[in-house]
């Protein structure tokens, strides 16, 4: 084989078929030994005789498809089976968070002063015997994915681990060019920043040939909102055709992956060229998914303003949820801040078509709509932004308290300025008392809902995973009292 595509165990796993369990790979092992934590968060998957995993991350499957379409022999290989392919001349490695520098890993660093398991697992891969043999034989190691930027802050590890090239951006075209250069013995560039001229058009995006983790399929790329903290808005907006989506779903279903996760930076903007949901396109999309008789359906991301607009204009959220059955469904959403002042500064378009000064009410209305439609949001809040004032954090605290009665999980993300990441002790920043209180309020909210959500979420887990997750939640509830105590004592006083 010419090209091996791989990653570490926190990536080459299906998290027992539960995407949200994957968030456990962004923290250090809590209250459990690391070996047990990894079995719960990132279990090994079955492989074929060549070491190809049954499912692989969608991004790696896209790179695999791009290379195969270009006539280059390539396959995704499980990290435990790399020794079977030491003849490979190129090793391509992708990751969501190589060094645990992105959210929510960075928050766990700050809170615990301990290295998350995703960074530990990636280091074990890079220092494994198989990777050392690849280096000795002169294989070119190419890395990329959403966390490609992190290598800029760890140049010493590029040298230590023999990284030839880092590709940052949509890589389907660029990786073919760089891999061909490697196979022909040409000198490789150290960093490749994919420019607009090399971003694939819709027609150039390859379709996956082998199954993706938990049935994830992409439906759109790009976002028109233009939030300052998000790189997605720099990419052109492209929508897959229904035929493209159908073909990728079929790839998964033929392999026995019966669930479907529709992935986009904002699923509710599928088929739209602006910030208004396209009713007909969304109905056709979900009719397609329903026709596949999938075992479950989820979405990667909704924008809260689109939730509110789609329901109030078309009754669309309740209609879509009803089309897909009476079961609960999950989605990730971004609250980011409860402060209208801060929202206006960092994400003025996030509330559109509503006024950004109405952001607080947009969030509350969207959560209410999802609660009624049996959609469970996993929401993020950002704290620690350079522009943030104490009153902004207090506004976020008050918003979380207003969301108390809506079934959801809310996760605060601690913003870390890029300039600090070069230092070894960047995570020693001390959160302010207001930021700590925001974390407490989020934890209190999550503890209120987690057992109710877990009863639905864990019902089809295997008995061991269900037991371990139940044990962890019980330990977490007891252990969290220490973190919550300072505020509880203030209230009693």
pLDDT of residue 44: 97
> What are the tens digits of pLDDT across the range 223-238?
776 655 555 556 788 9
pLDDT of residue 20: 84
pTM of the model: 0.92
pLDDT of residue 491: 39
Decide if pLDDT at 134 tops 90: yes
CB 25 within 8 A of CB 10: yes
In 3D space, the residue among 164, 34, 156 whose CA is nearest the CA of residue 99 turns out to be 156
pLDDT of residue 332: 95
> What are the tens digits of pLDDT across the range 181-205?
999 999 999 999 999 899 999 999 9
Grade residue 105 by pLDDT with cuts at 50, 70 and 90.
Answer: confident
Grade residue 490 by pLDDT with cuts at 50, 70 and 90.
Answer: very low
List CB contacts of 132: < 8 A, sequence separation 6 or more.
none
266/225: higher pLDDT:
266
Decide if pLDDT at 244 tops 60: yes
Decide if pLDDT at 459 tops 80: no
Domains of the chain: 3-193 (no CATH), 211-302 (3.30.750.210), 328-493 (3.80.30)
**Identity of the highest mean pLDDT range in 84-98, 286-300, 370-384:** 84-98
Decide if pLDDT at 286 tops 90: yes
Q: How far is CA 282 from the centre of its chain?
A: 22
Average pLDDT over residues 276-280: 96
Average pLDDT over residues 252-270: 96
How many CB atoms are closer than 10 A to CB 442? 22
In 3D space, the residue among 38, 77, 47 whose CA is nearest the CA of residue 61 turns out to be 77
pLDDT of residue 364: 98
> What are the tens digits of pLDDT across the range 152-169?
999 999 999 999 999 999
Grade residue 320 by pLDDT with cuts at 50, 70 and 90.
Answer: very high
pLDDT of residue 259: 93
What φ, ψ does residue 72 adopt, rounded to 5°?
-100, 130
- % of residues, the chain, pLDDT over 70: 92
Burial category of 456 from C-beta neighbours within 10 Å (exposed 0-12, middle 13-18, buried 19 and up): middle
pLDDT of residue 315: 97
Beta strand spans in 3-160 (E): 3-6, 74-76, 90-94, 140-144
- % of residues, the chain, pLDDT over 90: 71
List CB contacts of 480: < 8 A, sequence separation 6 or more.
443, 447
Strand partners, 14: none
> What are the tens digits of pLDDT across the range 393-450?
999 999 999 999 999 999 888 776 655 545 555 455 678 889 889 989 998 999 899 8
Decide if pLDDT at 476 tops 90: no
CB 6 within 8 A of CB 90: no
Angle at 334 between CA 248 and CA 94, to 5 degrees: 45
Decide if pLDDT at 269 tops 90: yes
Average pLDDT, whole number, for the chain?
90
How many CB atoms are closer than 10 A to CB 470? 14
Exposure string for 157-175, b = 16+ CB within 10 A, e = fewer: bbeebbbbbbbbbbbbbbb
In 3D space, the residue among 483, 467, 466 whose CA is nearest the CA of residue 16 turns out to be 466
pLDDT of residue 8: 99
Decide if pLDDT at 46 tops 90: yes
What φ, ψ does residue 145 adopt, rounded to 5°?
105, -175
Grade residue 455 by pLDDT with cuts at 50, 70 and 90.
Answer: confident
pLDDT of residue 488: 47
């Amino acid at each position: 084989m010419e090209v091996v595509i791989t990653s570490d165990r926190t990536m080459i796993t299906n998290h027992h078929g539960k995407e949200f369990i994957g968030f456990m790979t962004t923290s250090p092992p809590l209250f459990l030994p690391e070996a047990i934590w990894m079995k719960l968060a990132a279990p090994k998957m079955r492989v074929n005789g060549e070491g190809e995993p049954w499912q692989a991350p969608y991004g790696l499957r896209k790179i695999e498809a791009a290379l195969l379409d270009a006539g280059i022999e390539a396959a995704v290989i499980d990290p435990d089976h790399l020794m079977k392919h030491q003849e490979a001349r190129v090793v391509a490695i992708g990751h969501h968070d190589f060094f645990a520098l992105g959210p929510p890993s960075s928050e766990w660093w700050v809170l615990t002063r301990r290295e998350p398991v995703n960074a530990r697992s990636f280091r074990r891969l890079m220092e494994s015997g198989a990777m050392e043999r690849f280096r000795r034989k002169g294989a070119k190691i190419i890395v990329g994915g959403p966390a490609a930027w992190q290598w800029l802050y760890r140049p010493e590890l590029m040298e230590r681990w023999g990284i030839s090239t880092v590709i940052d951006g949509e890589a389907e075209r660029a990786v073919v060019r760089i891999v061909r250069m490697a196979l022909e013995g040409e000198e490789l560039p150290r960093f490749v920043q994919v420019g607009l001229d090399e971003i694939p058009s819709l027609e150039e995006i390859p379709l996956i040939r082998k199954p993706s983790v938990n049935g994830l399929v992409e439906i759109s790329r790009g976002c028109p909102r233009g939030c300052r903290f998000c790189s997605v808005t720099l990419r052109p907006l492209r929508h897959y055709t229904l035929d493209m989506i159908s073909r990728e779903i079929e790839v998964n279903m033929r392999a026995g992956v019966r669930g479907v996760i529709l992935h986009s930076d904002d699923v509710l903007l599928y088929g739209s060229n602006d910030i208004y949901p396209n009713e007909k396109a969304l109905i056709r999309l979900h009719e397609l998914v329903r026709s596949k008789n999938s075992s479950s359906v989820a979405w990667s991301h909704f924008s809260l303003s689109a939730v509110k607009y789609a329901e109030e204009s078309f009754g669309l959220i309740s209609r879509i949820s009803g089309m897909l059955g009476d079961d609960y469904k999950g989605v990730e959403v971004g609250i980011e801040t409860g402060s209208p002042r801060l929202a206006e500064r960092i994400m003025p378009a996030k509330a559109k078509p509503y006024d950004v000064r109405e952001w607080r009410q947009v969030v509350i209305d969207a959560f209410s709509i999802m609660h009624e439609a049996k959609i469970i949001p996993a929401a993020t809040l950002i704290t620690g932004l350079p522009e943030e004032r104490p009153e902004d954090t207090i506004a976020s605290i008050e918003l979380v308290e207003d969301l108390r009665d809506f079934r959801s999980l809310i996760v605060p993300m601690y913003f870390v300025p890029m300039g600090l990441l070069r230092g070894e002790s960047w995570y020693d920043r001390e959160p302010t008392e207001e930021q700590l209180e925001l974390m407490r309020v989020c934890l209190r909210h999550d503890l209120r809902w987690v057992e109710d959500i877990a009863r639905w979420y864990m019902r089809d887990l295997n008995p061991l995973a269900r037991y371990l997750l139940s044990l962890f939640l019980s330990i977490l509830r007891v252990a969290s009292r220490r973190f919550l105590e300072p505020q509880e004592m203030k209230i009693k006083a």
